[in-house]
Amino acid sequence: MFNYSDAFASNILALKKENRYRHFAEIQRDTTTFPIAQIFKRYELEDVTIWCSNDYLGQGCNPVVLDAVCDAVRTYGAGAGGTRNISGNSPLHRKLECELADWHNKEAALLFTSGYVANDAALSTIARLLPNCIIFSDQKNHASMIEGIRHSGVDKHIFEHNNVEQLETLLKRVPVDQPKIIAFESVYSMDGDFGPIDKIVALAKKYGALTYLDEVHAVGMYGPSGSGVADKLGLAGEIDIIQATLGKAIGCIGGYIAGNRTLIDVVRSHAAGFIFTTSLPPAVVTGALVSVRYLRGPEGQELRKRHQHNAKILKESLLSKRLPIVDSPSHIIPLIVGDAGKCMQVTESLLENHKIYIQPINYPTVAKGSERLRITATPFHNEEKIHQLTEALDTIWNDLHLQRRRER
């Protein structure tokens, strides 16, 4: 049995070892194919097409980002050398925080070592410090938000996914002047649906709640400058805390929150997940800074356009074969298999017979019986690759006698 996670993790390492990295960057940043890792001898040096990367826009291989990172490594070294408070701070960290705050049109931003840490540290700290705070959390919130809420130790209400009527019923039970936080996401990563930002903002106003929005799967991807779904809807100004990652569309690693200066200072001063850990290396910070600036500009707009186009034609192509995708409104395309063993068989066959890599998503990431492939296009997949993927899935669906959609 193959370990697909290892394959994914090591493919870039293999690429670097083989000194094909630069070559790779030169061939128009085609992030959809990687030489397969050496652990799979029989595939050595053959190309495998990846259809499940969260490097949605290929920024992890953008030569502009790579050059900046390489220069920064040579200038500043490999690591940060300490925590933000003890020797691990730099003007670059501050610069990136200013850039992120400006991108989201907020007063301030704060970096963390990952999006996970950002959620855990920020939610736990804000909720713990607000006297008598209560949190309202969407049932499908990411594990990092759930951990943050748990670590805060405050009371919580979980509302059914995107059920604003139920959220309102729960909010009504709490005095208006009691501090509250509504925590939710703009793009839910396993189903590809959007959170009802406008409705939640309206409820937050009515019942005096702070809004905490995870835009991890949306930054770089939506809105005129790519800062997320809230901005696309003209609602970013209504959100109190925006949280996101530098590890997906931005192509690096790290996480952050953006919000008003006081809130950010509170988290900076009290969050263990910010204070007691080595800060992001300057080279990563530089890469993220260059990547965000790129995504804010016309090239970023072009990438978003091509990305949305590819996601759309991929959905149409899969629907044309009645493959059981969730016809999601976002760029994420869940293809439901509904059985863990079969899901694994599909991904094995994709890799062995079609040189296509898609990780199976099983319990506990999704509910039992809803096992799936989570397919993501990038701007660098083309019509030929979309056709190949569709044909491969169509064949496998026949071979394994899997269920199809009733209609297109």
Q: Which residues are catalytic?
A: 248
Element holding 99 (H helix, E strand): helix 91-103
* Options 168-176, 209-217, 360-368, 379-387: segment touching ligand PLP (CB under 6 A): 209-217
Residues 333-362 that bind ligand PLP (CB under 6 A): none
Q: Using CB under 6 A as the criterion, what x/- string covers residues 80-109 for binding ligand PLP?
A: ------------------------------
* Options 79-87, 211-219, 310-318, 343-351: segment touching ligand PLP (CB under 6 A): 211-219
3-class SS at 114? coil
247 binds ligand PLP (CB under 6 A): yes
3-class SS at 82? coil
Pick from 31, 90, 119, 227 the residue near ligand PLP by CB under 6 A: 119
* Options 101-109, 110-118, 150-158, 271-279: segment touching ligand PLP (CB under 6 A): 110-118
255 binds ligand PLP (CB under 6 A): yes
Pick from 245, 279, 317, 370 the residue near ligand PLP by CB under 6 A: 245
The C-alpha atoms of residue 57 and residue 291 are separated, in whole angstroms, by 10
The C-alpha atoms of residue 256 and residue 358 are separated, in whole angstroms, by 28
The DSSP symbol for 392 reads H
Residues 213-242 that bind ligand PLP (CB under 6 A): 214, 216-217
142 binds ligand PLP (CB under 6 A): yes
| Dihedral sign computed on CA atoms, order 168, 174, 177, 181 | negative
The C-alpha atoms of residue 201 and residue 233 are separated, in whole angstroms, by 12
* Options 98-106, 114-122, 260-268, 372-380: segment touching ligand PLP (CB under 6 A): 114-122
Cβ neighbours of residue 401 closer than 8 Å, sequence gap 6 or more = none
371 binds ligand PLP (CB under 6 A): no
116 binds ligand PLP (CB under 6 A): yes
**Residue with smaller CB distance to ligand PLP, 154 or 246:** 246
Residue nearest to ligand PLP (CB): 115
**Residue with smaller CB distance to ligand PLP, 140 or 304:** 140
- Within 13 Å and on the Cβ side, how many CA atoms surround 273? 27
Radius of gyration of the chain (CA): 21
* Options 26-34, 112-120, 278-286, 359-367: segment touching ligand PLP (CB under 6 A): 112-120
Find the distance separating the first CA and the last CA of the chain, reported in whole Å.
34
How big is the site for ligand PLP, counted in residues (CB under 6 A)?
14
The DSSP symbol for 206 reads H
286 close to 68: Cβ distance less than 8 angstroms: yes
Q: How far is the CB of 199 from ligand PLP (least distance, A)?
A: 19
Which two structure tokens, joined as six digits, stand for 163? 């059920």
Q: How far is the CB of 393 from ligand PLP (least distance, A)?
A: 24
Peptide bond into 175 cis (omega under 30): no
- Within 13 Å and on the Cβ side, how many CA atoms surround 267? 29
Residue with tokens 């805390």, as numbered in its chain: 241
Where along the sequence are the contacts to ligand PLP (CB under 6 A)?
A: 114-116, 119, 142, 144, 185, 189, 214, 216-217, 245, 247, 255
